[in-house]
Structure 1
Amino acid sequence: MNKFLLPLLFLCLFLLESLFVQYLPGEIFGKVCAPHFLFTGLLFLTIYGGKKQGIIYGFIFGLLFDIVNTEILGIYMFLFPFVAYLVSKITNAVNANMISVFFTTLIGIALLEVGVYEMNVLIHVTDMDYMSFFNTRFYPTLILNAVFIILFGYPLKRQFEKIALILRND
């Protein structure tokens, strides 16, 4: 049963993210808010469970995210594990208390957003300029995900600490 707990948790975060996008308006006050609940969970796994698990699950769920939500395979499959790796390096340099985890996770989400935007500019999927991107998508996305981390960060921390203990014992 313990082996299925982590994939089930990520599947629930994936579904929660999809439901959030489906049932809440795409634009709030003319701004686009992109939830990254799954990615937040992946970063918490990387911080509390270990770099190896974060990268592996980042690759798997990045591929799943690409298949379900995007037209181009590979963007999230590459960026999820890459940013998880960078977050693991940041976490090694600072103490992993809730405040530093909060800011580290927001940095990871910011890197993901900028990376996806740059990839879309590079392959000519979007023609949005930088200032429009930052004002209409980047800042609202960070605010939405900061609220999610404030509300669910501590329960996620506790859950991933339990899962990390189970993974170490197996």
Structure 2
Amino acid sequence: MRKFLLPPLIVLFFIMESLFVEFVPPTVFAGNYILVPHFLISVILLLTIYGPKNYGVLYGFLFGLIFDIVYTEIIGIYLLLFPLVAYICYRLMKILQNNMIIAVLISIVGIALLELGAYEMNVLINRTNMSFTIFSADRLLPTLIMNFAFIVIVVYPLKKHFEKLVLSLDS
């Protein structure tokens, strides 16, 4: 039963991400900063850490494609980055111990890798003229802080849900 709840749960966070952008005005958080909610990739990374093996990478491919279709004009940036970041976090968790503090930190590292990858791809195809120092001060750091707060709020309920999912798949 829990495996059927997983796609709607991830879709819910996909929708929450766009609702956050739509309904939270940019001036709420000091105006000049660019805050990018990464609720979807946060959930995919937590699924990678706590969920069944390879689910995070598979959902990364699927929702990376959906993310590209809905939000970007270039198909492939997030289709590549979502599963790549999920795989890197999966490999990091094989090395590190599995507790919630490490999971939160690895998720933040994953979001930073996603932001840096998207920025570098946009620089590569000349879609942005923002310098790296401005990007890191005005977008990367505020984005990481906001997503850190989100992950701290959702890590425990999602951890419990994904662990029960693993148990239900094993039996």
Range into which the TM-score falls when normalised by the shorter chain? over 0.9
What are the superposed Cα offsets for residues 55-86 of structure 1, whole Å, 9 maximum, x if unpaired?
11000000011111111111001000001000
Runs of 4+ displaced beyond 6 Å: none
Aligned match of 1:11: 11
- Is residue 107 of structure 2 the alignment partner of residue 114 of structure 1? no
Aligned match of 1:20: 20
One-letter identity of the residue aligned with 1:129: S
Report the count of equivalent residues: 169
Alignment gaps of 5+ in structure 2: none
Give me the TM-score of the superposition, normalised by structure 1: 0.95
Give me the TM-score of the superposition, normalised by structure 2: 0.95
Aligned match of 2:125: 123
- Trace 1:131-150 onto structure 2 (pairs within 5 A): 131-150=133-152
Q: Distance in 1 between matches of 2:98 and 2:2?
A: 25
One-letter identity of the residue aligned with 1:9: L
TM-superposed CA distance for 1:2, in Å, is: 3.6
Task: Give the SS at the match of 1:72.
Answer: coil
Q: Distance in 2 between matches of 1:147 and 1:124?
A: 32
| CA RMSD of superposed structures (Å) | 1.1
One-letter identity of the residue aligned with 1:91: M
Alignment gaps of 5+ in structure 1: none
What are the superposed Cα offsets for residues 125-170 of structure 1, whole Å, 9 maximum, x if unpaired?
101000000011000000000000111111111111112222333x
One-letter identity of the residue aligned with 2:10: F
What are the superposed Cα offsets for residues 6-59 of structure 1, whole Å, 9 maximum, x if unpaired?
101100010111100110123532101101111010001111114411111000
Identity across the alignment (%): 50
